[in-house]
């Protein structure tokens, strides 16, 4: 006799990048096991791969998770986690006044939002007749969630995220440009022009939440800004 199958509830949310309504379900024990094993390995590539698998499965593989913007994937993961483990998350915060003491904070996952800046744009005017169109990095670009924090990783991701280069009426699509030509194009930029590119990554949408903490040793109150998925998982 076959064992009974357990019905899994489904929920809806909107993708931050497009506003598209997405259905999702809680993760199952088999998926949680993959995440736990990846966490134990402390390998960022394993974590990224596990997250792609988990979020893809829990959204019924309706989205190409590996090529979705990282902030979409992080947002979906938090929504899935809320319905799988609980609506709150406990985070240990380092108190800014002494930089040493930690204090626990409980955060409602629904209070964690994607922060979008009004002046953020993916179209960069390099000169009067040269424009660069960028796209958001995805997990397949960065390999891990820490690569953007290294100089080499940041350059590699930037090369990948150049989507088009417009020179007057001519349009150069990324698929038609070699890695060498992209690298040479970026290296000929002035510091100011290059900073306009890095500003795209600095200001792109991200998970963000502000918490108020009180240092248990000094009783000093401080506001702490948590940004990015890693801030909520540490």
pLDDT band at 145 (very low <50, low <70, confident <90, very high): very low
Q: Is the pLDDT of residue 118 over 50?
A: yes
Q: What is the pLDDT of residues 9-29, one digit of tens each?
A: 999 999 999 999 999 999 988
Angstrom distance (rounded) from CA 13 to CA 76: 8
The stretch 89-106 carries a mean pLDDT of 94
What SS3 state is found at 113? strand
C-alpha torsion sign, points 140, 141, 147, 149: negative
The stretch 97-106 carries a mean pLDDT of 95
Asked if residue 116 lies in contact with residue 123, where contact means CB atoms within 8 angstroms, the answer is no
Asked if residue 54 lies in contact with residue 35, where contact means CB atoms within 8 angstroms, the answer is yes
pLDDT band at 76 (very low <50, low <70, confident <90, very high): very high
pLDDT at 234: 60
CA torsion 218→109→35→104, rounded to 10°?
10
Q: Is the pLDDT of residue 123 over 60?
A: yes
Q: Give which of 209, 205, 202, 216 is closest to 91, Cα–Cα.
A: 209
What is the SS3 assignment for 41-83? Answer: HCCHHHHHHHHHHHHHHHCCCCCCHHHCEHHHHHHHHHHHHHH
Asked if residue 162 lies in contact with residue 182, where contact means CB atoms within 8 angstroms, the answer is yes
Least confident span in 18-27, 124-133, 135-144, 177-186: 135-144
DSSP letter assigned to residue 144: S
The stretch 64-87 carries a mean pLDDT of 93
Task: Count CB-CB contacts under 10 A for residue 50.
Answer: 21
Angstrom distance (rounded) from CA 200 to CA 103: 33
Angstrom distance (rounded) from CA 77 to CA 84: 10
Q: Is the pLDDT of residue 175 over 60?
A: yes
pLDDT at 190: 95
Least confident span in 30-34, 99-103, 159-163: 30-34
* pTM, full prediction: 0.87
Asked if residue 51 lies in contact with residue 77, where contact means CB atoms within 8 angstroms, the answer is yes
Angstrom distance (rounded) from CA 148 to CA 227: 14
């Amino acid at each position: 006799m076959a064992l009974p199958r357990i019905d899994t509830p489904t929920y809806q949310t909107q993708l931050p990048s497009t506003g598209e309504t997405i259905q999702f379900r809680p993760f199952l024990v088999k998926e949680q096991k993959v995440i736990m094993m990846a966490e134990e390995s402390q390998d960022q590539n394993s974590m990224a791969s596990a997250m792609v698998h988990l979020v893809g499965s829990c959204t019924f593989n309706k989205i190409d998770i590996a090529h979705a913007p990282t902030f979409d994937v992080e947002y979906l993961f938090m929504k899935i986690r809320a319905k799988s483990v609980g609506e709150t998350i406990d985070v240990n915060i380092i108190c800014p006044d002494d930089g040493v003491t930690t204090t626990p904070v409980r955060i409602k996952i629904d209070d964690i939002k994607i922060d979008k800046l009004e002046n953020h744009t993916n179209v960069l005017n390099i000169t009067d007749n040269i424009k660069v169109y960028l796209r958001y990095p995805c997990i397949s670009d960065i390999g891990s969630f820490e690569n953007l924090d290294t100089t080499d990783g940041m350059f590699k991701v930037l090369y990948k995220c150049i989507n088009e280069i417009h020179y007057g009426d001519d349009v150069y699509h990324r698929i038609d440009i070699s890695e060498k030509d992209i690298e040479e194009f970026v290296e000929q930029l002035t510091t100011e022009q290059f900073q306009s590119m890095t500003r795209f990554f600095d200001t792109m949408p991200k998970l963000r939440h502000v918490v108020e903490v009180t240092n248990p040793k000094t009783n000093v109150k401080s506001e702490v800004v948590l940004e990015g998925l890693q801030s909520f998982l540490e």
